Amino acid sequence: MPSVAVKLYSVFFKFMLKHRLQNRIQIDDTNGPNNGTSFGITSRPNEESIAASNPLFTDGVATKDLHVDPATSVSIRIFLPETCLGSPDLDSKSRVRVSTRPGSGSDPNQALILRRNSYGYCTTDSVIENQTNYNKNGFNHRRNSYGCNVVDDLGLKSENGVYRGYNPAGKKNCRKLPVMLQFHGGGFVSGSNDSAANDLFCRRIAKLCDVIVLAVGYRLAPENRYPAAFEDGLKVLHWLAKQANLAECSKSSVGSRRGGEGGGGGGGADLRKSDAYGHIADAFGASLVEPWLAAHGDPSRLDLAPYFYLCVLLGVSCGGNIADYVARKAVEEGKLLDPVKVVAQVLMYPFFIGSVPTHSEIKLANSYFYDKALCTLAWKLFLPEGEFDLDHPAANPLIPGRGPPLKWMPPTLIVVAEHDWMRDRAIAYSEELRKVNVDAPVLEYKDAVHEFATLDMLLKTPQAQACAEDIAIWVKKYISLRGHEFSY
């Protein structure tokens, strides 16, 4: 059973959540059914602590915020692990990673677990020291993608240690990482991508999975109801595909310029007139290449084409519903998303519901933190007025005719908690996926509650750490360099 502290905090949490939801219903009724705007809001700072972005590699991860759509408030926070600074030569060698999983009442320093990651990057002090010395000695200045001069040949850090990114053209001494889109929880009505809890969770996932995490700040209800949050998730995936194409165009332009200069033709002179490092002109005007993604987004982990960006989707609670929607749309759009390929998704205690109750929905209807009554209230705030239905395609993954066919869905890992009333429907979804030969395992955690691995109070528990490590092991099956996968 959950601890006494968890039970007491759950009572307080549900009381506050119910109060907030009822207030939003009153405000929504006062403003009328058309109170939302296309811009909307993505966070409620007065309800939770916010973690500022930090371009320094604090705790091994650098972060920065981007506003990716001028028409809405959708934004992302990029989590870049420090392992991206390593030389690609280290990728092809088997290394040892040192990680800790502190037990209850034990000294974390005595609980070291040697684990090899799928990229073979060693995070021991000796390798980090060697890499630091390598970056400090005898390199010249190089212009980054925004025209700033930074210290060292890699163009990675300024003198004060802030990571600025650099132009991808001609780069050879950096690691390429897959990208993960992360969607936070909060019942569609609360939470944010820059909250302190979500920031800590994404830092942990970025380090353990060795990926670039893009935490999506989607629009919240009731200011923006369905399908706003779902469309925002898909919009970020399209933005990522555009960034991948712009990065490739940038490299092609610079390569053509160098070829023209070497051959003495007029093409090189024409290319010199444009700034291929700073932006690429496309059908919609000038678009900036995001330097962190251009420098470290992985364009070559599949042998199917010259370049593909591997993308994993990770959704927490209601974010799991968004991730599943984005995965379905990615399947439907197919090659239209090239060069981005969604290769897997992780649904952590997804916010699924239905009109016909499951066993867990009956037995655990008054469970911890998010009980069934509060979640139903959240769905009423999220779904458009007049369309409230617990069998809505956004709510119930098992209704007939919900396309595309499940056999086309990407591999799906589902995390559930023993004391979560939504667990049975999530398990049923995984069973339907396995029936059509989709890799869809379920990780069930005993004595766990909804959001046990992402809630602010529970983030630092051994169970939350173990869950993140288990997710990393499974995810690396689909983002590993060939020949360096884990053994199972």
Taking the C-alpha atoms of residue 214 and residue 53, their distance in angstroms, rounded to an integer, is: 13
346 in any annotated domain: yes
The CATH number linked to 55 is 3.40.50.1820
CA dihedral in degrees (469, 473, 478, 482; nearest 10)? 130
For position 96, what pLDDT does the model report?
A: 36
- 316 token code pair: 């927490």
Name the active-site residue from 43, 192, 317, 367. 317
For position 245, what pLDDT does the model report?
A: 79
Residue 397 DSSP SS3 = coil
The answer to whether residues 280 and 248 touch, using CB atoms and an 8 Å cutoff, is no
Spell 48-79 as b/e; 16+ CB within 10 A means b: beebeeebebeeebbbbebebbeebbbbbbbb
Pair type for strands 179-183 and 61-67: unpaired
Name the active-site residue from 232, 420, 424, 430. 420
460 in any annotated domain: yes
CA-based R_g, the chain, Å = 23
Query: Pick from 372, 375, 354, 376: which is nearest to 363 by CA?
Result: 372
Taking the C-alpha atoms of residue 139 and residue 98, their distance in angstroms, rounded to an integer, is: 30
The answer to whether residues 350 and 426 touch, using CB atoms and an 8 Å cutoff, is yes
Vertex 364, ends 358 and 370: CA angle to 5°?
105
For position 269, what pLDDT does the model report?
A: 40
356 in any annotated domain: yes
Domain extent at residue 406? 4-32+39-85+168-252+286-479
For position 409, what pLDDT does the model report?
A: 96
For position 275, what pLDDT does the model report?
A: 39
345 in any annotated domain: yes
9 in any annotated domain: yes
Q: What is the pTM of this model?
A: 0.78
The answer to whether residues 423 and 352 touch, using CB atoms and an 8 Å cutoff, is no
- 254 token code pair: 């610079």
* pLDDT tens across the length of the chain (488 residues): 788 888 898 898 888 888 888 888 877 666 655 555 678 888 888 888 999 999 888 889 999 999 998 888 999 999 999 988 875 444 444 333 333 444 444 444 433 333 333 333 333 343 334 444 434 443 333 333 333 333 343 445 555 556 655 443 444 557 788 999 999 999 999 999 999 999 999 999 999 999 999 999 999 999 999 999 999 999 999 999 888 877 767 655 555 555 555 544 444 444 333 333 333 333 343 457 788 888 787 654 444 444 567 899 999 999 999 999 999 999 999 888 888 889 999 999 999 999 999 999 999 989 889 999 999 999 999 999 888 999 999 999 999 888 889 999 999 999 999 999 999 999 999 999 999 999 999 999 999 999 999 999 999 999 999 999 999 999 999 987 543 444 33
Active site residue 317: yes
> Is the peptide bond preceding residue 227 cis, with omega within 30 degrees of 0?
yes
Residue 347 DSSP SS3 = strand
Query: Pick from 348, 36, 50: which is nearest to 193 by CA?
Result: 50
Which residue type does 350 have?
P
207 in any annotated domain: yes
267 in any annotated domain: no
Q: What is each CA distance from 307 to 21, 163, 248, 250, 385, in whole angstroms? A: 46, 26, 9, 14, 44
351 in any annotated domain: yes
Name the active-site residue from 145, 152, 450, 480. 450
Tell me the DSSP string of 328-340: HHHHHHGGGGTTE
First to last CA, the chain: 31
- 40 token code pair: 């909307």
362 sits in which H/E element: helix 359-363
> Is the peptide bond preceding residue 168 cis, with omega within 30 degrees of 0?
no
- Number of separate domains in the chain: 1
Read off φ and ψ for residue 407, nearest 5 degrees: -65, -15
